[in-house]
Amino acid sequence: MTIEDAIKHCRDTALSNAGNAIAYLKGGQKMLAESCEKCAAEHEQLAKWLEELKRRRDAERWIPCSERMPENCTKVLVWFEYFRYGEYNCMYSTWGIGEYFDFSGRWIIDDSTGWQDLHVFAWMPLPEPPEGGD
Domain closes at, from 13, 30, 59: 59
Per-residue pLDDT of the chain (134 residues; tens, 9 = 90+): 898 999 999 999 999 988 888 888 888 888 888 888 999 899 999 999 999 998 888 778 899 999 999 999 999 999 999 887 877 788 888 999 999 998 888 898 998 877 778 899 999 999 888 887 65
132 occurs within a structural domain: no
If one counts the domains in the chain, the total is 2
133 occurs within a structural domain: no
Domain that holds residue 34: 3-59
Residues 118 and 88 in one domain: yes
Residues 70 and 83 in one domain: yes
Which pTM value belongs to this model?
0.58
Residues 36 and 71 in one domain: no
Residues 54 and 34 in one domain: yes
HEC letters along the chain: CCHHHHHHHHHHHHHHHHHHHHHHHHCCCHHHHHHHHHHHHHHHHHHHHHHHHHHHHHHCCCEECCCCCCCCCCEEEEEEEEEECCCCCEEEEEEEEEEEECCCCEEEECCECCCCCCEEEEEEECCCCCCCCC
